[in-house]
Chains A and B, each alone.
Chain A
Amino acid sequence: MSSSSLIYLDYQATTPCDPRVLEKMMPYFKEIYGNPHSRNHDFGWKAEQGVEAARAQVAATIGADAKEIIFTSGATESNNLAIKGAAKFYSEKRHIITTQIEHKCVLASCRQLEREGWEITYLPVGKTGRIDLDQLKKAMRPDTLMVSVMAVNNEIGVIQPIEEIGAMCREKGVLFHTDAAQAVGKIPLDVKKMNIDLLSISGHKLYGPKGIGALYISRKPRVRLEALIHGGDQERGFRSGTLPTPLCVGLGEACALAQQEMESENSRIEGLRKQFLKKIFSSLSDVTLNGDEAYRIPGNINLSFAYVEGEGLMMGIKDLALSSGSACTSQSLESSYVLRALGVDDDLAPTSLRIGLGRFTTHEEVDYAADSICRAVLKLREMSPLWEMAQAGIDLRTVQWGQHH
């Protein structure tokens, strides 16, 4: 799909903008450039029509009403607004429950509230990466304002039991926010059926443009938030600032396409995933799939390769654009708090790769990537003293290693 020799396998980091989306956006850059908030002329009215049609498209994707959608700059802003905005508005309730594997923008918003006097419970996850509903129930208190649990994790692709969490929150009268940046267009979402009060959406994770996102804010029951950005009271006062018409239109079209094509796209990507895993597991031992096997989106593959160092591996697969993490504190790779929360065994010094497949990934690319990874891992294991020791039956956990550098 591109002229470069790099193969793009990082669809959880971002997705390319779908050409059909871009095509819908172009007139709003060129001809329909009016301010959608201008009330006095056709330039403004046309722009407003574009924005409102897009709002309806976004709403339809998650079973919401258009009036319940506000546009933001992205999921980071949506998550900040949902969490801090609700905390500030309902400030008599001082407790929020989230998980240890949320995206950084949720964790950082919670940390900020902690500094301001709120109490936060960070639920652990099991080896599968899913939260335990009993633990959630036990964590709920009379002063619990909100539960914020992501629908799909960005590193391991694991899907949380959203409907069950929603039911539990509704029963207890607790707000339910979900960061659905990785979920919209990938799994069916229905905010009414799932009792979701607040839901964050990102444009660039679903083949839309970067710089746009949305927040669903339930009207029935009515959820209120204190705004973070003040100004001309656009977006019903929740989020001031002139709307970027082309980006709104792009997000709307991206949502509509994702909705229409979700089923066929998921089954195609699932095929690619199986093909990839079959190659990997038939050539390599000591490889683990991180996260639940059943509850996950097809486009995410997170694998740990034992006895292979991360940077060395990345150097061997230079023509693959993907993400690497490590549960250990290797020198230059960022250690992954998500993998650590899953209890990935760092005694075996594994390196994990996140292989993100998506709309434009081809069979050839998947084959090539799997072959390259197998070749690099085999070569590095041949060179790895840890692999040699493991093959000789030595338990690496019992070895006295040297001092840390």
Chain B
Amino acid sequence: MSYSKRVIDHYENPSNVGSLNPEDKDVGTGLVGAPACGDVMKLQIKVNPSGHIEEAKFKTFGCGSAIASSSVVTEWLKGKTLEEAAQIKNADIASYLALPPVKIHCSVLAHEAISAAISDYSLKQAPKL
């Protein structure tokens, strides 16, 4: 398997590895994938009162492409509104990292992680019935 330079860079020096407190009201957490499939991604976003993503953190169990996909996504998410964040497509990630066809699922998973984090955050903001 030959990886693109960007995948290798993100694998070797990943951005924003870490965790935010999932209990905080301004934090949205997405946990996607499964150990049996060989990839699990945890993506967390912290949204400030103006509705912008202030911080994004990830932890990923997976191959170099999965780690790079989540690392890239955390960089892209910072400063975006939730609407803008929701616009990130898996194809954007795949083409930026030049993922080969067998690794497209890594970008799909990263995309799912964004959606999951946003919906977790939105759910927390929704008024309790």
Contacts and interface: CB of A to CB of B under 8 A. Distances in A.
Interface of A: 307-312, 315-316, 326, 328-333, 346-349, 380, 382-388, 396, 401-405
Contacts of B62: 309, 311-312
28 contacts: A309-B61, A310-B38, A311-B62, A311-B63, A312-B11, A315-B11, A315-B64, A326-B38, A329-B36, A329-B37, A330-B38, A332-B38, A332-B102, A346-B36, A349-B35, A349-B40, A349-B61, A383-B61, A383-B67, A384-B60, A387-B61, A388-B42, A388-B59, A401-B33, A401-B36, A402-B33, A404-B36, A405-B37
Given A331-B105, A405-B105, A405-B109, A386 B36 contact: no
A316 B41 CA distance: 19
A331 B35 contact: no
A401 B37 CA distance: 10
A348 B64 CA distance: 19
B31 interface: yes
A328 B59 CA distance: 20
Nearest to B8: A315
Contacts of A383: 14, 17, 59-61, 67
Interface of B: 1, 3, 11, 14, 17, 19, 31-42, 59-64, 66-67, 102, 105, 108-109, 112
Contact of B36 (A308, A311, A349): A349
Contact of A331 (B11, B37, B67): B37
B61 A384 contact: yes
Contact of B38 (A331, A348, A382, A387): A331
B61 A331 contact: no
A317 to B, nearest CB: 12
Given A349-B35, A383-B14, A404-B34, A311 B1 contact: yes
Contacts of B11: 312, 315-316
Contacts of A328: 35-36, 38
A3 to B, nearest CB: 23
A382 to B, nearest CB: 7
